Amino acid sequence: MPKPLPAENELPLRIRGSRASEHQGRESKLWAVRAADAGGEERAATLKQGVKTEFADLALMKENQKFYEFLKQHPDFGKFVVETLYFKARETAGDEPHAYRLQKAIEGKRLDELTDEELYGDKKLMERLLEFIDASIAIFKEAQATGNHMPDLYGDKPASNYLFNPRFSSNVIISEKPDDKGRQIFFVDTSPNSQQVKGIGKEFQKKIGGKFQIAQLENWKKEIMRLL
């Protein structure tokens, strides 16, 4: 677990407090922070630092930003994407620069943490899940058609995610209650699928992976509709 951020730091944020997030990434550090906005109001947020310094390469950061915009501007999937701010900074004066992402804090649980009783005991939430699944299918199909990167619905522990079943994703958070825009489902991994970026299984992802994920989403949709 990372230590709290030092009080004297070079991050472009007015941080009032921080602690290590309960969930940490394979190649990132996460903090729950309290930071003041431009008006001085304190807000809760999640700060993610890419551990490897090469993640701060400007070309890679631009690629990440472009992918985020693809997700956020998608007519169906965009509403589920949590707002994300990208920046490059040093934690302290003697550190190497790292890539950071700042997202609003979401009070809730990841999909893989929810029991079926919790997830399927709320009819309104089930209807929102169906909307999320349809949006996910739409963006996967578009990514396949355009050659764009695909969103990572698997999460940070694919081996235990029941054969890449999106029902057990660690990249989707269900909030305790809808926000002021009526959103309760949030996709939080706004970087391209790491396998696609690194070229591991690139052809598989391009030709087979997307089709497999769409099939998994369609199966999940059938299960929810059966339970409704």
Q: What is the pLDDT of residues 5-35, one digit of tens each?
A: 998 899 999 999 999 998 888 789 999 999 8
Domain count along the chain: 1
Query: Is 86 within a domain?
Result: no
C-alpha 74/C-alpha 129 separation (Å) is 17
pLDDT of residue 3: 93
pLDDT of residue 160: 46
Query: Is 149 within a domain?
Result: yes
Structure tokens at 214: 């769409």
Query: Is 54 within a domain?
Result: no
Top-ranked range on mean pLDDT: pick from 18-27, 97-106, 143-152, 198-207: 97-106
Phi then psi dihedrals of residue 2, to 5 deg: -70, 155
Query: Is 101 within a domain?
Result: no
Query: Is 37 within a domain?
Result: no
Among the listed ranges 68-82, 163-177, 201-215, which one has the minimum average pLDDT value?
A: 201-215
Neighbouring residues of 184: CB distance < 8 A, sequence distance ≥ 6? 108, 125, 128, 174, 175, 177, 178
Query: Is 35 within a domain?
Result: no
C-alpha 103/C-alpha 116 separation (Å) is 27
3-state helix, strand, coil in the chain (%, to 5): 40, 20, 40
Q: 82-98, pLDDT tens digit by residue?
A: 999 999 999 999 899 99
Taking the model in full, what pTM does it have?
A: 0.88
pLDDT of residue 200: 47
Query: Is 14 within a domain?
Result: no
C-alpha 141/C-alpha 136 separation (Å) is 9
Range of the domain at 205: 108-227
What integer is the mean pLDDT of 29-54?
89
Query: Is 155 within a domain?
Result: yes
